[in-house]
Structure 1
Amino acid sequence: MKDNIVVILCKLEKIFPPAFFDIMVHLAVHLPREAELAGPVQYRWMYPVERTLGKYKRFVRNRARPEGSIAECYLSDECLTFCSSYLRGIETRWTREERNVDRWLEERSIGLDVFSQRVRPLGVAKFVTLEEKVFTRARWYVLNNCKETASYLDEHYQKVSGESSLHIEKRHEAEFERWFQNRICGSNAANVSKQLYDLACGPNYLVRSYKGCIVNGVRFHTTECEQTRTTQNSGIVVRGEHGTSNIEFYGVLRNILELRYPGPNHVYLFECDWWNTGIRTGMQTDQYFKTVNTSRTWYESDPFILASQASQVFYLNDIKLGGSWKVVQKMTHRNIYDIPTILERDNEEEDQGVSGEVHQERECVGGNAITVEANNEDSNLL
């Protein structure tokens, strides 16, 4: 880009009049060099400063004394902000919830992982009755993706494979739910947990449907909900198995389902449309972008994933290929930090005060404490 921009401007000078080439057009010559020296522009642009200046302009109430109005309003705002840090029980700028908070107030230390998803549904629930084939597939996906049922799945698979070697996978999927219910709810009911017993009893046939939800701080909307919106929150990516390899499945969110089990237990499922990336014309990857073809669907009989398994992506129109080709764009959401796991330090580093604790944004750790460091030679002076 740094080499080509000069040639491009020279060619444009043959077409446009000299008045076209103002300082903004000339600025394009310096942008590549600035990116090399200072990095991405979002870390050094002036938009935060301009927003702050706009806030100070709104402080003006007496146009004859604008500086005095800004100074007085700024001092009042600082005083109220300082006092609000000592208030409890009311909403202040320090206690205000984030826009995409999931409001997960109950932390379950003991329970099934499928019943402990951090999901906050949005809007009014719509009660629907699924087709028998779809409802059976949803129940099987919950049982097949619960960590606590892994041993039962292996036991039943060995039982089915020992009976016959024909259609083992199909018979395992079709017979496991009934076998699991008889195994848990029978004479062994007293030896299992209450939540595992509720899972074996199965969900209610009346399912709740939502058009949006917040999962682990990320907002999702269905494609139907986005028809009247200019924003996009329906892109889904999840890692899964296809044959003997692990790949990424790309699709869009079609529906959000809540399966109600006995007691306060419920499971949130995402019903998705998956793009067929298993063929050569389904996905293209180059040095910079990954593009998927959204004209062909895949895994129509297996549309479900757990809400906690989903990650969000955005689809942009591919101006090079055109048509139904979309460029996949992955992003890191605000206030969500992918902090790497800190390995165990040596004993020597632990003695020096190296801590492996990870803190969230705005978290105050020992703000009122004063730490005094002293060498061994000066320890007798303290």
Structure 2
Amino acid sequence: MKVLKGYVQNRTRPEGCIAERYIAEEAVEFCTQHLSDVSTVGVPSSQKMGVSKPLSGCTNTEEVLPYIEQHMIHITTAYPKFRKRTKWLQDKHNSTFIQGLRFKVQSELEEDNHGVSENLRWLAAGPNMAVPLYRSYLIKGIKFNIKAQDDVRTTQNSGVYLLAQTMQVASAKDKNPILSNMGFYGVIQEIWDLDYQKFTIPVFRCDWIDSSGLVVDELGFTLVDLSKIGHRNDQFVLASQVKQIFFVDDPMHRGWSVVLSMPNREYNDVIGDEVLGDVIIDCEPFTRGMPNVDTFD
């Protein structure tokens, strides 16, 4: 009723005022849904904004899947002594796949009727070695911050959760790990935007919580110790693969935080499954050379 009363400018004809104001608001809302480059009234736009359309990444693109399978077959054939050592074969694949993909794509491009798409060509060529870093990144209506950005704000947007298929071993001597889904909890430390000339791919460098810093209490809540960092040799993840979570200090257990997740807001992807859509960057970027991943401690 308060809203409707606010529509009344002429008290002698309240019904007419309400009807006219309601029709005007409905018309404006309808137009904003069908007009491009229109900002919402009353919501200030950022002064530092960029737009890009990144893909979902190399190993998750359907075009690359056949090359992954071929490379695994090649490794198994080239190293028959390690055929039963699943972990060794996977590590070998991870360390040599990019070089193998680049060589395979270049060979196919030399043929007259090759089926190599432009996206696959740029993926095989690799990204620009000058990598812009960002403090914030907005993807599908969800804002992600680096930890340093959260430290100076009252809000928190740096927690992420990743459900990945990984190899689990019973002990350090176990040479036949089991493939299964496993959840990882982390905090974003850096946001990279890999430039492949024709498109960009955002990736997060995260501090992932070690398994020793993860417990589930008797009520079913997941508790993490943010000081116990693990997986230092595998810190990067595609921005499209993670889900945003929040860490709340546990008043009952000092040093532990409760993991909370919120349902993602509705987002209409009109471009397609392989494209994230318009990604709005709100930050002050700076560049640095891309280091070797293996150099991280």
- Give the TM-score category using the shorter length: 0.5 to 0.7
Determine the structure 2 residue equivalent to 1:163. 78
Give the superposition deviation at 1:179: 2.1
| 4+ long deviations beyond 6 Å | 56-61, 67-73, 95-99, 102-106
**Structure with higher strand content:** 2
Q: Which residue does the alignment assign to 1:153? A: 68
SS at match of 2:252: coil
Q: CA 1:105 to 1:85, structure 2 compared with 1: closer, same or farther past 3 Å?
A: farther
Partner of 2:219: 287
Q: Which residue of 2 aligns with 1:296?
A: 228
Task: Tell me, yes or no, if the aligned pair for 2:207 and 2:230 is still in contact at 8 Å.
Answer: yes
Larger radius of gyration: 1
Paired with 2:185 and 2:258, the residues of 1 have a C-alpha distance of 11
Given that residues 84 and 92 in structure 1 are in contact (C-alpha distance below 8 angstroms), is that contact kept between their aligned partners in structure 2?
no
RMSD, matched Cα: 3.8
Measure how far apart 1:292 and its partner are. Answer: 1.4
Deviation at 1:177, TM superposition (A): 1.9
2:167 is the alignment partner of 1:233? no
Partner residue of 2:260 out of 310, 329, 349: 329
Shift of 1:286: 2.6
SS at match of 1:213: strand
CA distance in 2, matches of 1:270, 1:301: 14
Residue correspondence of structure 1 range 1-382 to structure 2 within 5 A: 53=2, 74=18, 77-84=21-28, 89=35, 91=38, 115-117=54-56, 143-164=58-79, 165=81, 167-190=88-111, 191=114, 192-242=116-166, 243=168, 244=178, 245-262=180-197, 264-276=198-210, 278-279=211-212, 282-323=214-255, 325-335=256-266
Alpha-carbon distance in structure 2 between the residues aligned to 1:73 and 1:103: 41
**C-alpha separation between the residues in 2 aligned to 1:203 and 1:105?**
15
CA separation of 1:310 and 1:256: change in aligned 2, threshold 3 A: same
Name structure 1 gaps, 5 residues minimum. 1-51, 107-114, 118-141, 338-382
Residues 56, 70 of structure 1: 8 Å contact kept: no
CA distance 1:69–1:328, change in 2 (3 Å)? farther
Q: Distance in 2 between matches of 1:302 and 1:143?
A: 16
CA distance in 2, matches of 1:187, 1:213: 36
CA distance in 1, matches of 2:52, 2:191: 21
- Secondary structure at the aligned position of 2:63 is classed as helix
TM-score by length of 1: 0.54
Per-residue CA deviation, residues 291-326 of structure 1 (Å, 9 max, x unaligned), is 112121121111111111111111111011122x11
1:143-197 deviation digits (Å, cap 9, x = unpaired) = 4443322222222222223233354344333322222211111254441222211
Q: Which structure shows the higher helix fraction?
A: 1
Between the two structures, name the one with larger relative contact order (CA 8 Å, sep ≥ 6): 2
CA contact (8 A) 2:52 2:200 kept: no
Q: How many residues align?
A: 243
CA distance change for structure 1 residues 186 and 89 in 2, over 3 Å: closer, same or farther? closer
Q: CA deviation at 1:335?
A: 3.7
- CA gap of 1:315–1:98, structure 2 versus 1, over 3 A, is farther
* 5+ residue gaps, structure 2: 83-87, 169-177, 269-297
TM-score (norm 2): 0.67
- Cα 1:98/1:272, change in 2 over 3 Å: farther
CA distance in 2: counterparts of 1:255 and 1:92, whole angstroms: 29
